[in-house]
């Protein structure tokens, strides 16, 4: 039997996640170092004041991103 259009013929085993490519990781690191929230605070502030990314990391969007998406350590803590 064939798979419907756009659906892979084989799926990865349950519980196995895809990893980012090295270039995606580099881009994320660069974004983390340059991104600031709507108050001007960068990822360093969030890492110090919200190390688990549970209190403030979803606040204060800037350029369509919050710390939850822009800061590498938040991405790692929520994997």
pLDDT of residue 31: 57
**What tens digit of pLDDT does each residue of 21-78 get?**
444 444 554 556 789 999 999 999 999 999 899 999 999 999 999 999 999 888 876 6
For residues 77 and 2, which has the higher predicted lDDT (pLDDT)? 77
Longest dimension (CA), the chain: 55
Cβ atoms within 10 Å of 45's Cβ, excluding its own: 16
Distance separating alpha carbons of residues 29 and 52, to the nearest angstrom = 18
pLDDT of residue 37: 95
CB-CB contact of 41 with 35 (8 Å): no
pLDDT of residue 75: 83
């Amino acid at each position: 039997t064939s798979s419907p259009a756009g659906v892979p013929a084989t799926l990865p085993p349950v519980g196995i996640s895809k990893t980012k490519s090295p270039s995606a990781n580099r881009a994320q690191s660069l974004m983390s170092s340059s991104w600031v929230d709507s108050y001007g605070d960068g990822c360093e502030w969030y890492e110090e004041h919200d190390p688990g990314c549970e209190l403030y990391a979803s606040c204060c969007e800037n350029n369509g991103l919050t710390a939850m998406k822009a800061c590498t350590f938040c991405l790692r803590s929520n994997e």
